[in-house]
Amino acid sequence: MRNGLENGARDNKVTEMRTILDKAGRILIPIEIWEKLRLKPGTVFKVAIVGDKIELEQELSKVQYSRAGESSAM
């Protein structure tokens, strides 16, 4: 168990993890979340204010099909 992610998860939600907003306005996402969601540097997120909370949603890449039937991520 690391940072309670495995035992602290309930209904696909982590009960609590803390992080800090730095002077540049960035929030560090803990490595346990990176690994669980298979995030990589450059992952794009939608950011929204929901009530008094900040919501991040991973924006999945769109797939484009070529004439030969091969797909490539955009």
Domain count, the chain: 1
* CA 71 – CA 16 distance, rounded (Å): 39
Backbone angles phi and psi of 34, in degrees to 5: -55, -50
Q: Does some domain include residue 43?
A: yes
Q: Determine the residue type at 6.
A: E
CATH number of the domain where residue 13 is located: 2.10.260.10
Nearest Cα residue to 29 out of 9, 7, 45: 45
Residue that the structure tokens 């039937």 belong to = 69
Residue that the structure tokens 């450059």 belong to = 42
**pLDDT tens per residue across span 34-59:** 888 889 999 999 999 999 999 999 98
Q: Does some domain include residue 13?
A: yes
Q: Has residue 28 got a pLDDT over 60?
A: yes
pLDDT value of residue 1: 42
Q: Does some domain include residue 34?
A: yes
Domain coverage including residue 45: 5-61
Q: Does some domain include residue 70?
A: no
